[in-house]
């Protein structure tokens, strides 16, 4: 009798494996960090072999901690850092170059040239994305054009492309399955999210041979069998979803109008729009939230580049707090008479502004401003940016349901920050009992496919709230604070007169 689902959570800085039981509870975890490579300014790479070895090692660690064997596992779900790009040799399984990470900016000039040619609407209309180095398509083109012999080998059908999920799947099945899911495909810049297929037109523009590409499947699907040589036995690989989409599933955001926001180094917010792929008028991304039984469910997505990173800056850059967890207590003790606003545009600012060249600024400093006021400003900047996204989403998509934001990530442990978030949004904020929403999403999809877990409706009913934070300030106070934020952002943007 199998008793677990094994979830592989392959992230940007570490690989993790978590075993979940029948009650959706994490039983054992293995985790290993791996090396970040920065070969040039703005370039970020990972060694695919290190990703593979840490993934296998963490799976072994989790099983050992639980005293379990792979025969105790009903199925495997994979969730992964999105957009990170690998091309490998089909015969050897070895990558032809380091993986180019989603954060990498090396193709910025190429994206600029495509925009100058008026091609961005062509990409956006088909993929829901903007022409940006963030996505996989231009990374594939760079690898083919800059790795010796790559283009010739690709045209001969000798190479395979994948995001990290596809690369892991290839290795886990000993090269028998070359596939991805619709959520990861929707982040490549070459997948038509309306037709549900790779776009010949976009492949031609980027000069990418179709023979490189994986088959696109549902999030919960048959992804083959685990090679028994890896973990001493075999089981089904039954699910794949990109990390933010897996968190959306883990938060049980299955109805249109439901929204989740993950607060880590940055922040990613997704709003379920149902079977309607909403075209944003506010520079949000249109993406696939999940796909089941051949039917995609769509979402609007907004990205905040700096969330927890602002608190890290207070700790590591300024040295004014010893631990990131102290920031909430500092903010609570701040002088309420001061109105310090921090715009943390350390690497530009994301949706809905998308100004890559603006830089951070702090407004409203006085002689009395100190660490506590700066801590409050840093945490409030995350709340204000979330309101930017929520406002843009509501402008793009009207729902009859009240928006309740379900939150996860490291920052949600701060009671002060979550209360302030509710106050700034003017909407309830729900913090779940489970902190492992991303891995849980992958586990649930695998359990759904294998019959280990019940239907979506039953899973939704199992979602448990740890605490609801409801707005406590007046509309006048809320809107006045937000107006100060908007003025500060206008002064920070490169287009400000």
Q: Could you count the other beta carbons within 10 Å of the beta carbon of residue 144?
A: 23
The predicted pLDDT at position 197 comes to 96
pLDDT at 139 over 80: yes
CA nearest neighbour of 59 among 47, 73, 80, 45: 73
pLDDT at 170 over 80: yes
DSSP per-residue letters across 425-474: HTS-EEEES-S-HHHHHHHHHHHHHHTSS--HHHHHHH--EEEEE---S-
**Beta strand ranges found along 250-346 (DSSP E):** 259-263, 267-274, 285-292, 295-304, 341-343
The neighbouring-strand residues paired with 141 are none
The predicted pLDDT at position 401 comes to 63
Measured CA to CA, the distance from residue 292 to residue 178 in angstroms comes to 19
Measured CA to CA, the distance from residue 30 to residue 40 in angstroms comes to 32
| Degrees, nearest 5: CA angle 268-274-276 | 100
The predicted pLDDT at position 155 comes to 94
pLDDT at 422 over 90: yes
Mean pLDDT across the chain, nearest whole number? 92
The predicted pLDDT at position 65 comes to 96
CA nearest neighbour of 122 among 183, 212, 206: 206
- Label residue 171 by pLDDT band (50, 70, 90): very high
Q: Could you count the other beta carbons within 10 Å of the beta carbon of residue 491?
A: 13
pLDDT at 347 over 90: no
pLDDT at 23 over 80: yes
The predicted pLDDT at position 99 comes to 97
The predicted pLDDT at position 274 comes to 93
- Reading the block at residue 145, the tokens are 């054009």
Question: Positive or negative, the Cα torsion across 160, 165, 168, 170?
Answer: negative
Measured CA to CA, the distance from residue 343 to residue 485 in angstroms comes to 8
The predicted pLDDT at position 355 comes to 82
Q: Residues 246-278: pLDDT tens digits?
A: 999 999 999 998 899 988 878 889 999 999 899
- Label residue 398 by pLDDT band (50, 70, 90): confident
Q: Among 174-183, 345-354, 400-409, 413-422, which range has the highest average pLDDT? A: 174-183
DSSP per-residue letters across 164-198: HHHHHHHHHTTTS--EEEHHHHTTSSSEETTTTEE
The predicted pLDDT at position 399 comes to 67
Cβ within 8 Å of residue 119, ≥6 positions away: 131, 205
Question: Positive or negative, the Cα torsion across 468, 472, 475, 480?
Answer: negative
User: Which comes out higher in pLDDT, residue 496 or 37?
Assistant: 37
- Label residue 403 by pLDDT band (50, 70, 90): confident
pLDDT at 235 over 90: yes
Q: Residues 185-196: pLDDT tens digits?
A: 999 999 999 999
The predicted pLDDT at position 239 comes to 98
Mean pLDDT of 35-59: 92
Measured CA to CA, the distance from residue 17 to residue 55 in angstroms comes to 7
Mean pLDDT of 215-224: 98
The predicted pLDDT at position 134 comes to 86
- Label residue 163 by pLDDT band (50, 70, 90): very high
The predicted pLDDT at position 497 comes to 52
CA nearest neighbour of 6 among 82, 78, 80, 81: 78
Q: Residues 431-487: pLDDT tens digits?
A: 999 888 999 999 999 999 999 999 999 999 999 999 999 999 999 999 999 999 999
Which of 67-76, 185-194, 321-330 shows the lowest per-residue confidence on average (mean pLDDT)? 321-330
Which of 126-130, 225-229, 328-332, 489-493 shows the lowest per-residue confidence on average (mean pLDDT)? 328-332
Give Dmax (Cα) for the chain: 68
Q: Which residues of 250-272 are buried (b: 16+ CB within 10 A; e: fewer)?
A: bbbbbebbbbbbbbbbbbbbbbb
The predicted pLDDT at position 402 comes to 67
Which of 13-22, 206-215, 220-229, 258-267 shows the lowest per-residue confidence on average (mean pLDDT)? 258-267
pLDDT at 1 over 60: no
Q: How far is CA 488 from CA 124, 365, 368, in A?
A: 30, 13, 20
For residues 446, 26, 328, 349, the Cα torsion angle rounded to the nearest 10 degrees is -20
Helix (H) or strand (E) holding 237: strand 236-242
For residues 80, 83, 89, 94, the Cα torsion angle rounded to the nearest 10 degrees is -50
pLDDT at 496 over 80: no
The predicted pLDDT at position 83 comes to 92
């Amino acid at each position: 009798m199998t008793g677990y689902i094994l979830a592989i959570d392959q992230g940007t800085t570490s690989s993790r494996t978590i075993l979940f039981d029948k009650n959706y509870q994490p039983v054992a975890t293995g985790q290993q960090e791996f090396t970040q490579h920065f070969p040039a300014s703005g370039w970020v790479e990972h060694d695919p072999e290190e990703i593979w070895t840490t993934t296998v090692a963490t799976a072994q660690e989790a099983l050992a901690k639980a005293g379990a064997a792979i025969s105790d596992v009903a199925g495997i779900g994979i969730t992964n850092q999105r957009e990170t790009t690998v091309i490998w040799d089909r015969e050897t399984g070895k990558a032809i170059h380091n993986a180019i990470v989603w954060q990498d900016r090396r193709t910025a000039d190429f994206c600029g040239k495509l925009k100058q040619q008026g091609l961005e609407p062509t990409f956006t209309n088909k993929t829901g994305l903007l022409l940006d180095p963030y996505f996989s398509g231009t990374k594939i083109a760079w690898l083919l054009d800059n790795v010796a012999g790559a283009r010739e080998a690709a045209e001969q059908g000798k190479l395979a492309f994948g995001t990290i999920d596809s690369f892991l799947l290839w290795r886990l099945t000993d090269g028998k399955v070359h596939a991805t899911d619709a959520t990861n495909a929707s982040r490549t810049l070459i997948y038509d999210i309306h037709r549900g297929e790779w776009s010949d037109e976009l492949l031609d523009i980027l000069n990418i041979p179709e023979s490189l590409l994986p088959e696109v499947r549902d999030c919960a699907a048959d992804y083959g069998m685990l090679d028994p040589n890896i973990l001493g036995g075999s089981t089904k690989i039954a699910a794949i979803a990109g990390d933010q989409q897996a968190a959306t599933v883990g938060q049980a955001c299955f109805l249109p109008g439901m929204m989740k926001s993950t607060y880590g180094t940055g922040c990613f917010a997704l709003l379920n729009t149902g079977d309607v792929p909403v075209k944003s008028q506010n520079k949000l991304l249109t993406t696939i939230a999940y796909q089941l039984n051949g039917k995609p469910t769509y979402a609007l997505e907004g990205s905040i580049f700096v969330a927890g990173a602002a608190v890290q800056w207070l700790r590591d850059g300024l040295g004014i707090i010893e631990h990131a967890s102290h920031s909430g207590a500092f903010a609570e003790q701040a002088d309420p008479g001061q109105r310090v606003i921090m715009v943390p545009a350390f690497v530009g600012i994301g949706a809905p502004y998308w100004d890559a060249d603006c830089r951070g600024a702090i407004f409203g400093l006085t002689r009395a401003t100190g660490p506590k006021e700066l801590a409050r400003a840093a945490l409030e900047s995350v709340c204000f940016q979330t309101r930017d996204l929520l406002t843009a989403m509501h402008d793009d998509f009207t729902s009859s349901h009240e928006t309740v934001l379900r939150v996860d990530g490291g920052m949600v442990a701060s009671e002060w920050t979550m209360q302030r978030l509710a106050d700034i949004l003017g909407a309830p904020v729900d913090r779940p009992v489970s902190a492992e929403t991303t891995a849980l999403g992958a586990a649930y999809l695998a359990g759904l496919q294998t019959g280990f877990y019940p239907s979506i409706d039953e899973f939704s009913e199992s979602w448990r709230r740890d605490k609801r934070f409801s707005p406590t300030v007046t509309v006048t106070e809320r809107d006045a604070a937000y107006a100060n934020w908007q003025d500060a952002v206008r002064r920070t943007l490169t287009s400000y007169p």
